[in-house]
Chain A
Amino acid sequence: MFGLSPDDWTAVELTIRISIVATLCALPFGIALGWLLARRNFWGKSVLDGLVHLPLVMPPVVTGYLLLISFGRRAPIGAFLYDHFGIVFSFRWTGAALACGIMGFPLMVRPIRLALETIDRKLEQAASTLGANRALVFLTITLPLALPGIIAGIVLCFARALGEFGATITFVSNIPGETQTISAAIYTLTQIPGSDAAAGRLVLISIALAFAALFASEWLSRRAAIRFHGD
């Protein structure tokens, strides 16, 4: 289909899988951190804020390198995870998902934090007088009211993951069928003379994916708006 080779399709499938897993795994942390930054004052808050934003401003290769020296098989965190849980990140697609999740994380936290900051705390007070404990207030009032921001965070993180290149290739290399995403495949094709057509097809696919993500976000936020304001 579309003149794509099986290897190209593998890259497309892998990219989508990595992006979805990265986004879903980042989401609970994104909500927790967004809440922490929006609602709590604590010592070292600005340091934490800076750390969250670091992947946004650092060269992606640096992020990838830091992942390599901490999550590699013989690196401290990587060795611990392998010994105790059998989890391996280095040179696996799971490592690509980790890199994409971390690269997309600041983009996810920001809109969630902003959404939580704009919620009228008086509504949460009202819910507590109606018998809801803190967990129920969060689940039934805070989260639904922050939904537009959460959707925005999901879409931005997903889009960032789709296009991630530097951190991924540094951390888990460029292995067809395991860690070769669309971006890495396009890069490989540009190194091979006469592969312009194949590269072009993958470029079109990635543009289509980006548009699909945008449309999905538009549709979701419109649905959220309808839920809020009736019609």
Chain B
Amino acid sequence: MLAVDAEKQLGAFVLSVKFRATRGATALFGASGSGKTSVINMIAGLLTPDRGAISLDETILFDAGKCINVPPHQRRIGYVFQEGRLFPHLSVRQNLDYGRRMSGVPRDGDEFARIASLLDIDRLLERRPGHLSGGERQRVAVGRALLMRPKLLLLDEPLASLDAGHKREILPYLVRLRDDAGIPIVYVSHSPAEVRRIATTVVRLDRGQVVATGGIELLKDAEADVFA
């Protein structure tokens, strides 16, 4: 279980969030600029909170009081960025293998084949990221994060840079991931339609504050706000 209780001054507003995420997919949902990405950057260790604590299962990842701040490379948290961030000088296969090699996970051909086929990227292995479509790139990014055997998967608007067709292409993979992989997922999005498909829990953010936590019924209020 992931427990976040952290504060960070971000320019004009203070990001102050407190929530827990268990199995299944927790959506951080809110308008652009509400601090969603900053929250998962804090979980991944890319952004250091000013105050508070973050823990995953029994491991304390960050605790301002105890001066604990585990560096990102020791957190074992898979992070799928909005823009994929595949390494351009490596092939798809090498990209997929990167996290596994760097995390010291032994090679497991079956696991590799299973995830490559789950994400339908097994035909692309020898290509370079520059020769992939947006949807293919995001699927490789998801595979790369999964193959390091993460304890938690962070997805930062993984569909935002894609057109509607590609979104429809990837969403089913993410739903399968949620149900098959058994890893808790934190999913950042500002799209109610996406969140409804994926999330089991919704944490609504507004200007850096958690305004509501609950099931996907929270989305109705959000849409009501939008159309009010």
Q: Which residue of B lies closest to A133 (CB)?
A: B73
B130-A126 in contact (CB<8A)? no
For window 59-77 of B, CB contacts with A under 8 Å fall at: 71-77
Selected contact of A131 from candidates B87, B89, B148, CB within 8 Å:
B148
Does B29 sit within 8 A of A, measured CB to CB? no
A127-B88 in contact (CB<8A)? no
A129-B130 in contact (CB<8A)? no
For window 119-154 of A, CB contacts with B under 8 Å fall at: 120, 122-123, 125-133, 136, 140-141, 144-145, 147
Which of B45, B72, B74, B130 counts the most chain A CB atoms within 10 A?
A: B72
Does B85 sit within 8 A of A, measured CB to CB? yes
Which of A131, A144, A228 counts the most chain B CB atoms within 10 A?
A: A131
Give the CA-CA distance A227 to B71 in the complex, in Å. 31
- Which candidate, B97-105, B115-123, B171-179, is the interface stretch facing chain A? B97-105
A130-B144 in contact (CB<8A)? yes
Selected contact of A132 from candidates B81, B102, B130, CB within 8 Å:
B102
27 residue pairs bridging A and B, Cβ less than 8 Å apart: A120-B85, A123-B85, A123-B87, A125-B85, A127-B87, A128-B71, A128-B72, A128-B73, A129-B73, A129-B78, A130-B98, A130-B103, A130-B144, A130-B145, A131-B74, A131-B102, A131-B103, A131-B104, A131-B148, A133-B73, A136-B73, A140-B98, A145-B88, A145-B89, A227-B89, A230-B127, A230-B130
Does A40 sit within 8 A of B, measured CB to CB? no
**List of B residues within 8 angstroms of A84 by Cβ:** none
B73-A229 in contact (CB<8A)? no
Give the CA-CA distance A68 to B63 in the complex, in Å. 57
Give the CA-CA distance A119 to B104 in the complex, in Å. 26
Q: Which residue of B lies closest to A130 (CB)?
A: B99
- A230-B131 in contact given A130-B144, A132-B102 (Cβ < 8 Å): yes
Give the CA-CA distance A122 to B88 in the complex, in Å. 12
A230-B128 in contact (CB<8A)? yes
Does B46 sit within 8 A of A, measured CB to CB? yes
B89-A228 in contact (CB<8A)? yes
**List of A residues within 8 angstroms of B44 by Cβ:** 129
Selected contact of A229 from candidates B76, B81, B128, B148, CB within 8 Å:
B128
Give the CA-CA distance A132 to B81 in the complex, in Å. 17
**List of B residues within 8 angstroms of A140 by Cβ:** 98, 102
**List of A residues within 8 angstroms of B102 by Cβ:** 127, 130-132, 136, 140
- How far does the Cβ of B116 sit from chain A's closest Cβ, in whole Å? 17
A126-B85 in contact (CB<8A)? yes
**List of A residues within 8 angstroms of B103 by Cβ:** 130-131
Which of A128, A130, A227 counts the most chain B CB atoms within 10 A?
A: A130
**List of A residues within 8 angstroms of B99 by Cβ:** 130-131
Q: Which residue of A lies closest to B41 (CB)?
A: A125
- A122-B130 in contact given A131-B148, A133-B73 (Cβ < 8 Å): no
